[in-house]
Amino acid sequence: MSLGQVIRKEDLAASDAAALAMEIKSQVSAGKRMAFVSGNFNIVHPGHLSLLNFAAECADFLVVGLNPDSYPGTHLPQHLRLEGIRAIGCVDYAVLLPCTAEELITCLQPDIVVKGKEHEQHVNPEQAVVESYGGSLLFTSGEASLSSLDLLRREFLEVDFSTIRKPVDYLERHGLDMKKLADVVRGFADIKVVVLGDLIIDEYVTCNPLGMSQEDPTIVVMPIKKDLFVGGAGIVAAHACSLGAKVNYFTVVGDDETAAFAKETLRSYQVEACLIKDKSRPTTLKQRFRAGNKTLLRVSHLRHHEIGKELAKKLRNELAKTIKDADLVIFSDFNYGCLSPSLVDAAISLCNQHDIPMVADSQSSSQVGDISRFQGMLLITPTEHEARLAVRDSGSGLGFLAEALQKKAGAKHVLITLGAEGLLIQTADSTKSGIHIDRLPALNSAPKDVAGGGDSLLTCAAMALVAGANIWESAYLGSIAAACQVGRIGNLPLTANEILQELKNL
């Protein structure tokens, strides 16, 4: 029986409260706190949302019991009421009650039972039951701010395509054809990709700002929602898989719950992940505390020393089993130690032996890296800062900088990302137009979360090159991918349909 499955009254007699409680408990992980709410829920209104969100915040798993049609005050059929409750994001398990709420509470023994504030001055039959096993009965009208959680959830999941603008002059300058670009995207399904690099788990803590502390100049917030995402090279692998490719991903992780989350999430994304445990480090976790669509604070839990020789050898051996069948290898380097020099050299050697194109990104925001150590790449995608670090040039113009980096790294194509200014594209290809360098503006005029834009750009542009697109077409498709990605909060895999939809909106 799956999470939140409907259990109808006719399927369970009143004496089956124990069976229902056992079924619900089987869905709750050990050590997790459970909250319980019951009611008619004829039409879900803001008061209901406040109550349910408050209950969800008090525990790890929220169970909602709906009274049957025979219960006083019910007006809508039970299946419609249940459908409405199940559509609410904070509800983990919704069920039609085959018995009284007290009978189910007796068997279920939730940590917290929540009722509306209007019941506080009345006799509550649940009170004695809850007190008998040491639980808590809470009365609340909820917090008005919490009723917006479903809006927050949609903000994480949905892309606002209306903020994406197309550069018509760029399209005309390079003769881009939307039908060909769509065919390139559909061709992603024929590509086999290997991704190698640092795994990061991103945790977004959405907070309600409470103001300034009276004791000292400290901002005070109240966490109301947490979301975990696979990031780093993990989201690069997930992007490639969601765009249609068959993907193998290689990285190191710690022996912790964060690694378990990564493993399960990558599996759900259908990524074949080889996660090798490194006892000397935790799985990298980055927390972002956000309020009002702004990041207030970032906290990183990590170790960034290089992996040892034995781990590098183990990764190299696992990589060798798969790499010969690959159409593309992506190095996604966050400089947290996974891509040691010996492993990078070994991987490049394997790719050269099998004539497999390689692309690379090496991020140097809060850490220091060198994109030029990835020699002979089909494509590299540094930021301007990373490009200047690689060639030790802090003053030259972008054109000179791109050319110098291209020569030093031996790369065929260079995309220098410029944030809100878009891209600078440098290519060694001889083109019909004779253009070897060009600018492409940022396509999303109102990004919600710029984290992850570079990963989606790298993945989509690299796959486009392998699927037969030229660099101008690939840079455009990569920019479309980045525009979609920054149009929502948090790292979620892009789909080919999202890219295709945006190509139609010219």
CA distance 75 to 39: 12
CATH architecture of 160-190+357-506: 3-Layer(aba) Sandwich (3.40)
> Can you read off the two tokens belonging to residue 117?
């504030």
The single-letter DSSP state of residue 44 is -
Cα dihedral sign, 257-331-288-150: negative
CA distance 85 to 481: 34
Neighbours of 160 (CB within 10 A): 14
Q: Could you give the dihedral angle defined by the CA atoms of residues 426, 359, 164 and 168, in that order, rounded to the nearest 10 degrees?
A: 30
Cβ contact 377:360 at 8 Å:
yes
Which residues of the chain are modeled with pLDDT < 50?
Answer: 1-14, 143-148, 151
Among 1.10.10.10, 1.10.3720.10, 3.50.40.10, 3.40.1190.20, name the CATH number for the domain at 192-332.
Answer: 3.40.1190.20
* pLDDT computed for residue 123 by the predictor: 85
Summarize pLDDT for 393-410 with one digit per residue, the tens. Answer: 988 899 999 999 999 999
Query: 3-state secondary structure string, 256-291?
Result: CHHHHHHHHHHHHCCCEEEEEECCCCCCCEEEEEEE
From-to residues of CATH 3.40.1190.20 in the chain: 160-190+357-506, 192-332
Assign residue 490 a region: left if phi > 0, alpha if psi is -120 to 50, beta otherwise?
Answer: left
CA distance 307 to 253: 11
Cα dihedral sign, 376-248-454-223: negative
* pLDDT computed for residue 383 by the predictor: 95
* pLDDT computed for residue 158 by the predictor: 56
The single-letter DSSP state of residue 307 is P
* pLDDT computed for residue 161 by the predictor: 59
Cα dihedral sign, 146-151-152-157: positive
**In one letter, which amino acid is 126?**
E
CA distance 179 to 365: 37
* pLDDT computed for residue 249 by the predictor: 98
Beta bridge partners of 232: 199
* pLDDT computed for residue 305 by the predictor: 92
CA 201 → CA 124, 232, 235, 390, distances in Å? 44, 7, 9, 27
Beta bridge partners of 205: 226, 289
> Can you read off the two tokens belonging to residue 166?
């197309």
* pLDDT computed for residue 366 by the predictor: 64
Could you tell me how many residues make up the chain?
A: 506
CA distance 329 to 196: 8
CATH architecture of 9-149: 3-Layer(aba) Sandwich (3.40)
CA 154 → CA 56, 133, 149, 159, 166, distances in Å? 18, 38, 9, 9, 25
Which of 350, 341, 288, 339 has the alpha carbon at shortest distance from 317? 350
* pLDDT computed for residue 1 by the predictor: 33
Cβ contact 17:9 at 8 Å:
no
From-to residues of CATH 3.40.50.620 in the chain: 9-149
